Amino acid sequence: MSLTPVQLSPRTAERARRRPFWVAAALAAGLGLSGCGAETTADAADPPEAAEPAEATGQTGGSSGAEETAGTGGADGPDSSAVSSEAGVPPVGVSIPSIEVDESLIDLGIAADGTMEVPEDWDDVGWFDGGGMPGGAGPTVLAGHVDSTTGPAVFHRLEELSAGDEVFVTDAEGTVHEYRVERTAVFPKDDFPTQEVFGVLPEDELRLITCTGRFDQEVQSHEDNHIVFAVPVDSADAP
């Protein structure tokens, strides 16, 4: 399956080239999420010498001033020796037929407070552009809101996904990567599995994240995260 290729900006192309070092540095610094996400503050492994610093803010649509912010427990960063040079191609769209999601993606960077940005618009899905990319090594991480001040948001049906469901991610070259849900899990935001979600992997995987659980009015945040873990479908099995 393929769509019309998208021309990469020089900045995006450069980020793709240096991504393995950036990911290690971001995790070692204690990467977290803001808004419908999680925050980690624990100590982590030192980044590799060649690592480039994570940027303070992301690209289009991200916001460090989300309506809700949650903290989590920490996780050690990955061993820099495990970082792969297989970068993949930046994603530009996601489709989840079983829950009627079909959205283009915005870039989410790292906010000034060290957390991962979340979309400003309740109906946007964002890709963490300091992480993995489809077709490369490491997890591609997508995040979206579960609800808004007026009702359901883009990922309000994410909890309906179960093992075997399909997720399609289109990259900037027009290739559609098919993933199959392997498992889903709910984690308290104060015990967010940072390494499991963002950690370096030797293969291509996908993570989908939103909020769930009781809404704490005092801190204006859901207490938990719902996370979907998906793996690529072998080309021989793809339709």
Per-residue model confidence as pLDDT tens digits over 203-229? 999 999 999 888 877 777 788 899 999
202 vs 68, higher pLDDT: 202
Q: Residue 22: pLDDT above 70? A: no
DSSP-assigned states of every residue in 96-134? EGGGTEEEEEEEE-B-TTSEEPEESSTT-EEEETTS--T
pTM of the entire predicted model: 0.69
Question: Do the domain assignments include residue 238?
Answer: no
The CATH number of the domain where 155 resides is what?
2.40.260.10
Q: Residue 60: pLDDT above 70? A: no
- Contact 16/127 with Cβ under 8 angstroms? no
Predicted pLDDT of residue 126: 98
Question: Do the domain assignments include residue 161?
Answer: yes
Q: What is the number of other CB atoms lying within 10 angstroms of the CB of residue 223?
A: 16
Number of domains in the chain: 1
Predicted pLDDT of residue 97: 98
- Phi, psi for 138 (deg, rounded to 5): 100, 165
Q: Residue 50: pLDDT above 90? A: no
- Specify the 3-state DSSP secondary structure of 73: coil
Q: Which domain holds residue 173?
A: 10-232
* Burial degree of 64 (CB within 10 A; 0-12, 13-18, 19+): buried
Q: Residue 64: pLDDT above 90? A: no
Question: Do the domain assignments include residue 203?
Answer: yes
Per-residue model confidence as pLDDT tens digits over 72-113? 333 333 333 333 346 899 999 999 999 999 999 999 998 887
Question: Do the domain assignments include residue 55?
Answer: yes
- Contact 228/207 with Cβ under 8 angstroms? yes
Per-residue model confidence as pLDDT tens digits over 116-175? 888 999 999 999 999 999 999 999 999 999 998 899 999 999 999 999 999 999 999 999
Question: Do the domain assignments include residue 5?
Answer: no
Q: Residue 188: pLDDT above 80? A: yes
Predicted pLDDT of residue 63: 42
Question: Do the domain assignments include residue 74?
Answer: yes
Question: Do the domain assignments include residue 70?
Answer: yes
Question: Do the domain assignments include residue 4?
Answer: no
